[in-house]
Structure 1
Amino acid sequence: MNTIESLKWRYAVKKFDNHKLLSKEQINILKEAFNLTATSYGLQPLKLLVISNKEIQKELVAHSWNQPQVLEASHLLVICIPKTYLKNEVEAYFDLVQKIRNTPIEIIKPFKEFLTAEIDKKSQEELLSWNKNQAYLALGNLLTVCALEKIDACPMEGFIPEKYDEVLGLSEKNLTSTLVLPVGFRANDDYMKDLKKVRKNIEDVVLEFN
């Protein structure tokens, strides 16, 4: 399939085939895709949890408005962001820039100072909102890669982050769960499987200025 055909093939799966599991190679593709996601300033204020422990998945169903996909899926992906975001994250980023690119400190310094000041002047509430936006970028990227790789998925906001954080012990890691993405393979009897995709006409959603 080409890219557009793959995106047409994709839908939010309502029922997974719980006998089919993603291969290690497929999971590695999703992990790599997550790591390559574009983020603001390239700071990557995100973590991805890859859960294949069925006991944990079963426990999380109750905190996901009882959506069965959480358990039925081959793997459950949880995108997390820092509860508290500090300027040392910026310092760590520029240390990595120097390590990978061997960029002289005199070239890095002005941008580093600018970015550090930007982080300093924002409240933790503002930083949390900003980082949530990065999580949505990652989710969109993962959904596209899933479609291209013929991996089924169901993006979810319908869950209780505080309960996920508790079950997964995220608070002690300074993380909070933001988005959930069960991945696997659609069941043959998923009622959504053969329904036509409902989308507006391109002319209704795209404005062109020539």
Structure 2
Amino acid sequence: MDLIKNLQWRYAVKKYSDESVNEDKIDQIIEAINLSASSCGIQPYRLFVITNPEIRQRLGEGSFNAQIHASSHLLVFAGFNKITNDYITDYVEMMEQQRDMENGALNLLKDTLIDYFSTQTPEQNAIWSSKQAYIGLGTALIAAAELKVDSTPMEGFDPKLFDEVLGLSEKGLHASVILSLGYRDSDNDYLASVPKARLPINEFSTKII
């Protein structure tokens, strides 16, 4: 299975080369993220793809993760601060149109979602949205590995700085997790030649029959 081989190949890159990832591969990774699963299927986060060197230098201020500015592309997964009734209504209407359904055919789903999220606090909404963003992150890691693009998932960043520089708060968003993309500098990355370390499958997983 090529997927397993590609996942064995990938690791969290520490040092990137100067080689850029072509936009075709970036677009494929973005499309894979867009196809990710999300709870209730409503995609409560947005993706920002950043190559601008000045912006990335600013985003990396104070972080120990040089990959923020030293890789080819930086992906920022930004969760919603609140799940609004308007967003649910618009999304459900889009679902009806894409599935060639009558207007109002999914009213039960819409009303159920509105009833549920109206009982949640904005803080609960934000936490839930960030968890959904992590599902997208997982998809991005796998998609990148399939395309032989290196990556580094990161939490070591200043979310308030990201929110400020990218204007996320004004968009009703907050930075949840980030991912750098590029190509490993094998000569200067100490992890490039180190075997992957993982628990034995029979210790990691349990089958209950």
1:85 aligns with 2:113: no
In the alignment, which of 111, 131, 134 is matched to residue 133 of structure 1? 131
- What is the CA–CA distance in structure 2 between the aligned matches of 1:72 and 1:93, rounded to whole Å? 37
Q: Does residue 46 of structure 1 match 2:45?
A: yes
Identity score, percent: 35
Distance 1:66 1:106 in 2: 50
2:155 to 144, 154, 157: 157
Give the Cα separation in 2 of the matches to 1:28 and 1:159. 25
Does residue 191 (structure 1) correspond to residue 190 (structure 2)? The answer is yes
The answer as to 2:10 corresponding to 1:10 is: yes
1:112 equivalent in structure 2? 110
Q: State the match for 1:174 in structure 2.
A: 172
CA gap 1:27/1:44 in 2 versus in 1, 3 angstroms: same
Q: Secondary structure at the match of 1:125?
A: helix
Question: Contact between 2:96 and 2:105, CA under 8 Å: does it hold in 1?
Answer: no
Structure 1 unpaired stretches of 5+: none
- 1:150 CA drift (Å): 0.4
CA RMSD of aligned residues (A): 1.3
Q: Is the counterpart of residue 97 in structure 1 residue 114 in structure 2?
A: no
Q: Which residue of 2 aligns with 1:35?
A: 34
Q: Aligned partners of 1:41, 1:169: CA distance in 2, in Å?
A: 27
Shift of 1:85: 2.4
CA distance in 1, matches of 2:49, 2:163: 14
| Partner SS for 2:106 | helix
1:34-59 alpha-carbon deviations (Å, 9 max, x no partner): 11111011100111110000111111
State the shift of 1:112 in Å.
1.6
Query: 2:74 matched to 1:76?
Result: yes
In 2, Cα distance between equivalents of 1:8 and 1:188: 16
State the distance in 2 between where 1:96 and 1:106 align.
11
Letter of the 2:149 partner, please give it: I
User: How does the TM-score come out when normalised to structure 1?
Assistant: 0.95
Structure 1 stretches (4+) deviating beyond 6 angstroms? none
1:56-67 counterparts in 2 under 5 A?
Answer: 56-63=55-62, 65-67=63-65
Instruction: Write the mapping of 1:138-149 to structure 2, written as runs, cut at 5 A.
Output: 138-149=136-147
Paired with 2:56 and 2:88, the residues of 1 have a C-alpha distance of 34
Deviation at 1:106, TM superposition (A): 5.3
Deviation, structure 1 residue 159: 0.8
Report the secondary structure of 1:121's partner residue: coil
Aligned-partner residue type, residue 92 of structure 1: D
Q: Return the alpha-carbon distance in structure 1 between the equivalents of residues 81 and 47 of structure 2.
A: 14
Partners of 1:54 and 1:16 in 2: CA distance: 15
How many residues are treated as equivalent by the alignment? 208
